[in-house]
């Protein structure tokens, strides 16, 4: 499996480009901006991007949706609970003094337990609300990788003081959906460095 990341946008979101080594079919997760950097990786690797996936609906994770969708001819996937945030992205970004643009509507919704296939690769959607109502993590079981968006970070967790956030719900999502994964699964968060499930179970101060 091809698995690359690049920090994009004004808040340095980790965007992930994941694809099948054989078919070159793939997905882009959280194109928060700087789409030219994402496109450069896609072009160099000779990939065909079939889907853009947003782990949640905050503006810093979907700021490049419109451009990426047009460039790659892809479909947009997000959880239904966060879908209304797509059309408010520019408005919210301005509150932080950042120029942004609204995202096109979703083509389909992420649902807990659903699987997304591209080539020989498969990811499983884990609904992990708490940072937002529709926050999702993306689990690649065979490769022992999970993209957690802003749910779980290296020795930290996502903030819960924004609309739709719930500290209790976030902790429950992590305990029941992420900490039940094998300890050797590598965690790829929405910001900052990677970690592992085992390390977070032992060292995360919130637990």
**H or E element, residue 193:** none
pLDDT at 195: 98
Per DSSP, 23 falls in state T
pLDDT of 3-42, one tens digit each? 999 999 999 999 999 999 999 999 999 999 999 999 999 9
| Residues sharing a CB contact under 8 Å with residue 47, sequence separation 6 or more, in sequence order | 2, 17, 19, 24, 25, 26, 41
Q: Is the pTM of this model over 0.85?
A: yes
| Residues sharing a CB contact under 8 Å with residue 119, sequence separation 6 or more, in sequence order | 19, 20, 21, 22, 23, 24, 25, 26
Q: Which domains, from first to last, does the chain contain?
A: 2-203 (3.60.15.10)
**H or E element, residue 166:** none
pLDDT above 70 covers a percentage of the chain that reads 100
Residue closest to 158 by CA, chosen among 136, 126, 182, 180: 136
Least confident of 94-103, 121-130, 141-150: 94-103
Tokens 């993209």 found at: 147
Cα(187)–Cα(201) distance, rounded to whole angstroms?
12
Residue closest to 43 by CA, chosen among 63, 17, 62: 17
pLDDT of 119-134, one tens digit each? 999 999 999 999 999 9
Token pair of 157, please?
Answer: 């967790």
User: What are the residue ranges of helices labelled H in the chain?
Assistant: 35-45, 59-62, 65-72, 89-95, 167-173, 197-203
Cα(51)–Cα(114) distance, rounded to whole angstroms?
15
Tokens 């079919």 found at: 25
Cα(100)–Cα(90) distance, rounded to whole angstroms?
4
pLDDT above 90 covers a percentage of the chain that reads 98
DSSP of 27-78, one letter per residue? EEE---S-HHHHHHHHHHHT-EEEEEE-SS--HHHHTTHHHHHHHHT-EEEE
């Amino acid at each position: 499996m091809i698995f690359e990341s690049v920090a994009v946008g004004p808040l340095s979101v980790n965007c992930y480009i994941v694809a099948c080594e054989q078919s070159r079919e793939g997905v882009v997760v959280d194109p928060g901006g700087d789409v030219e950097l994402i496109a450069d990786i896609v072009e160099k690797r000779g990939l065909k991007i079939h889907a853009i996936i947003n782990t949640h609906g905050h503006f810093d994770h979907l700021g490049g949706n419109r451009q990426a969708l047009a460039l790659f001819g892809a479909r947009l996937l997000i959880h239904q609970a966060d879908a209304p945030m797509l059309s408010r992205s520019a408005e919210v970004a301005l509150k932080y003094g950042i120029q942004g643009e609204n995202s096109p509507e979703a083509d389909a919704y992420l649902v807990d337990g659903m699987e997304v296939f591209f080539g020989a690769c498969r990811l499983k959607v884990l609904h992990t609300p708490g940072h937002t109502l529709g926050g999702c993590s993306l689990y690649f079981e065979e490769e022992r990788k999970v993209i957690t968006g802003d749910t779980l970070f290296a020795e930290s967790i996502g903030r819960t003081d924004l609309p739709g956030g719930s500290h209790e719900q976030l902790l429950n999502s992590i305990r029941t959906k992420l900490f039940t994964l094998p300890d050797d699964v590598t965690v790829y968060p929405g910001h900052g460095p990677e970690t592992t499930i085992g390390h977070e179970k032992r060292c995360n101060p919130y637990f």
